[in-house]
Amino acid sequence: MKPISQVIAEKYGTMTKGQRLLAAYVTEHCDKAAFKNSFELAGLAGVSQSTVVRFAVALGYGGYTEFQNAMQDELKYRLSALERFELMSDTQSDGDLLEGIAARDAVNIKKNAAQNKIEALKDLCTRLTLASQVYVYGQGQASAAAQYMSAHLRILIPNLCCINQTGIDPLTSAAGIDNGDILICISFPPHSEATRHLVSYAREREATVAVICEGADSELARKADVCLYSECGDYGMNGTLAPVISLCGTLVCILAKNDDRAQQKLRRAGDAVSFVPRDE
């Protein structure tokens, strides 16, 4: 996904005077433009509504709605947690926030279903069943998704290390990774230096690298053997993890569904939880 500013820069030479005015406003005030309809944006930029629509099409989008969605997607990765929170708190009541975040999560979970091929999920499940050792890592807030996935995978896979739970830096935690192992890395922009080094190290050691990231254009996707894509929530305080948690849960379910040994382990885990000693 190219930044809006880069798309504008590439098309700037062919723009009309009105489109260049609009380009300048969007570049400088993307945080405000992303939440305005075409009429409101036209007024802020001092151009006509038709110019706004033609501008979106000139940039290669199917229309203004698609352009607006692209601006909002970019803000998820560009704004700080406080800035995302302020964008919502300034314009919505508490009730609107509750309904709005839930609605956006539902949309984003459906996007996950549309953009991930079932073959990729099955491929990762097969690799997991054959792996000697599985390492799971989530950058930043995605650590919660990594720990959620690990909690379920531990029941199904004997040799699993959740790097986020080791208490030491990611590269040291995965120092023993080797050919035959798998690293699952969950990360969204901005990808940290530690995350990039971890993925590069796993590749250098000839381990399988699977990533859950923002899209096919991600720098991590280009380094991975298996790629799954997820929305990472929208604005709120830190966005929400509902979409990526849903994807992680789907992966675990597919693994269990297609592996008889995994199903047996789940049954045993259930029996263990409900076990009552005979003398009680």
Is pLDDT above 70 for 173? yes
Q: Which distant-in-sequence residues (6+ apart) come within 8 Å of 156 by Cβ? A: 252, 255, 256, 259, 262, 265, 266
Of residues 67, 32, 37, 33, the one with CA closest to residue 49: 37
Cα 213 from Cα 220, distance rounded (Å): 7
Kindly give the residue spans of alpha helices, DSSP state H, lying in the chain: 4-11, 17-28, 30-33, 38-45, 49-58, 64-78, 81-89, 94-115, 118-130, 143-156, 170-173, 193-204, 242-257, 260-274
pLDDT digits (tens, 9 = 90+) for 90-134: 556 777 777 777 887 888 888 888 889 999 999 999 999 999 999
- The full set of domains in the chain, from first to last, is 1-78 (1.10.10.10), 113-274 (3.40.50.10490)
Looking at the chain, the whole-number percentage of residues with pLDDT higher than 90 is: 54
Cα 147 from Cα 153, distance rounded (Å): 10
Mean pLDDT of 153-173: 93
Mean pLDDT of 11-29: 91
Residue that is written with structure tokens 């098309």 in the block: 11
Burial of 123 (0-12, 13-18, 19+ CB in 10 A): middle
pTM of the model: 0.71
Cα 181 from Cα 134, distance rounded (Å): 6
Write down the pLDDT at residue 56.
93
